Amino acid sequence: MIEVDGKAAPAARGPAEVPWTTAMARGFRNRCPHCGEGRVFGRFLKVRDACEACGAELHHHRADDLPPYLVIFIVGHVVGLAILETEMRFEVPLAVQLAVWPALTLVMALALLQPVKGAVVGLQYALGMHGFAAIRRGRAEPAGSLAGSPVLSGERADGARDGRDDADRDTADLRRA
């Protein structure tokens, strides 16, 4: 069983399928994509290992660079449009623009980064990407079955938790060398 903040978390619920829109909305609101109760983040951008409410494992996410790219895309379009409209309609002094636009860009980027990362984690959960697929397979198998166990498949031997067998990783490393 997973421990959260020093206490044993209850086991995650059954294999209920969560629609991707619901999982993304829950993640955007900093809620567990599975139950909608627990928080996704322990710190600003650090995803918790497991939900404190339902025990669903969240450490499988691989959000990587997608959230910053999405935030840059959104903020760039909003601020770019605002700059363009301001330039076309008003005569604003350069000093004011140099003070307002960078500050607005920074505030919007920081305000959107955590919700967008939560939505990406929710999407990965709903689509069964990365380690989240193993969770679903594990829930769907009969009790006592070890077929989907990461220990038997060689997945955890190196602690990478990347969803690849150690043998596959060794083969790939040899090809690169």
Contact 91, 123 (CB under 8 A): no
pLDDT at position 54: 87
Q: What percent of the chain has pLDDT over 70?
A: 66
Which of the four pLDDT bands, split at 50, 70 and 90, describes residue 61? Answer: confident
pLDDT at position 153: 46
pLDDT at position 83: 96
Structure-token pair, residue 168: 């596959």
Higher pLDDT, 134 or 62: 62
* For residue 45, pLDDT beyond 60: yes
pLDDT at position 30: 93
* For residue 34, pLDDT beyond 70: yes
